[in-house]
Every structure is written in C-alpha cells, then in structure tokens.
Chain A
Amino acid sequence: SYVLTQPPSVSVAPGKTARITCGGNNIGSKSVHWYQQKPGQAPVLVIHYDSDRPSGIPERFSGSNSGNTATLTISRVEVVDEADYYCQVWDSSSDRVIFGGGTKLAVL
C-alpha cells in the first residue's frame, strides 16, 4: 500500500522559513493536500492540489510537489503556526485516502 513519510518534528525560529516534507513513491504524480491541526481542534486544510491556498489561508503558506517529495513551506513563521501538519493524497490504484504520519512544528 502507498505510504507517505513525514519527519516527526521540525523546529524554526519566529520570522524564519519552515519546510515540512512529505515523501512518497512518485508523489509528484499525485495531488497533495496539507492540513494544520492545533491541540483540541479539528484539522484545517491549508494547501490543496499541491500548491493552492483555500480562502482565508495566509499567503505565507505555500506548497510544491515533484518527484518523490512534496513540501509545505511556511514563510515568516509566527508563534500561531505552531501545530501538527499532515500531508494527504488519494491513491487511485487502491481507492484509498492516505495520510502522512504528521509533523509537529515547534516555533522556538
């Protein structure tokens, strides 16, 4: 079955750029979606179709996808960005939704 691999944690200083990766076999051929989840809250879609931002998501959030790696980039990181981030794809070969294991972003 298709597997998405994320680093367990990423640390970044306020005002810097955070990059969270999502690895998968030929993931560049799939559409990748990214979610932000804060403690006790439901997830929020921050990027879909690799790089599109839903309405209301700050421009600081961007995404890219090529080869075996998709990347969520958060520019000018703020303390409020501290959260868990999940990547997700639809695996059409198995008709399943696949989530990555999640990455905890710490803003230090």
Chain B
Amino acid sequence: EVQLVESGGGLVQPGGSLRLPCAASGFTFSHYSMSWVRQAPGRGLEWVASIKQDGSEKFYGDSVKGRFTISRDNAKSSLYLQMNSLRDEDTAVYYCAREVTVAGTGFISWGQGTLVTVSS
C-alpha cells in the first residue's frame, strides 16, 4: 500500500524557516516524480514545487520561487521542502504527492497533509 506521511508543520513567525519531510513507502520511490501542493484555509489547491525522479530537475510555483527548495533522498525514500522567508500567505496545509509516473501525469497518491501556520 502506498503511503506518504508528512511532518514538520507548526507555528512559525513571519520571516522564519521550516523544513517539511515526507516519508514514502509501498512503492519504489526513485521511479516517480514527486511534488508539494498546498491549500490555504478555505481556499483551493495550489501547486508549490515538483522534482524529477533523480532530482536532476526541480520546478517551482511563482509564489515560492527563490524562497522554497524541494529536494529528495532516494536512499531514504524521502521528500523534503525547505521553506525560508515565510510569509503570512504561506499559511496552508502542505501535501506531499506522487505522480502517476513522471511530471504532468497526475497526482495519484497524497499524504494526509501537515499544517503550517505563519503568524506573529
């Protein structure tokens, strides 16, 4: 059974940093593109970032480019999101998601999400 488990969420002050890990199991992690998708309270889904299977290419949404960094450790079957210079508008539930295969094929598996609250 495919499982994606996010952690690391919590309350952080504006301008602060946070690192979100996502532990994957039940599939060969290194075979799939992975992504982060977020959802602000009461709002729709917003794509944050994606990373190819071997980590050679990374893609970012405009609202996080230059502040967030996506990475992966295939040996540990783990995905990460390093978030710096956090803003109030980054408050959201952050989901880790696996593509059907490569980037653009649809997010077939999702974690339960971890809540990040940016507030003073």
A interface residues (Cβ-Cβ under 8 A, vs B): 1, 31, 33, 35, 37, 42-45, 48-49, 54, 84, 86, 88-90, 92, 95-102
Contact = CB atoms under 8 A, between A and B. Distances in A.
A96 B108 CA distance: 17
Contact of A86 (B45, B50, B62): B45
A84 B45 CA distance: 10
Contact of A99 (B45, B50, B112): B45
Interface string B69-97: 00000000000000000000000000100
Which range holds the interface residue count of chain B?
20 to 34
Given A86-B45, A99-B46, A48 B112 contact: no
B110 interface: yes
A89 B105 CA distance: 9
B107 A45 contact: yes
B45 A43 contact: yes
Which applies to chain A's interface (DSSP): helix, strand, loop or mixed?
strand
B31 to A, nearest CB: 17
A99 B44 contact: yes
B100 interface: yes
B104 interface: yes
B47 A33 contact: no
Contacts of B105: 31, 33, 48-49, 90
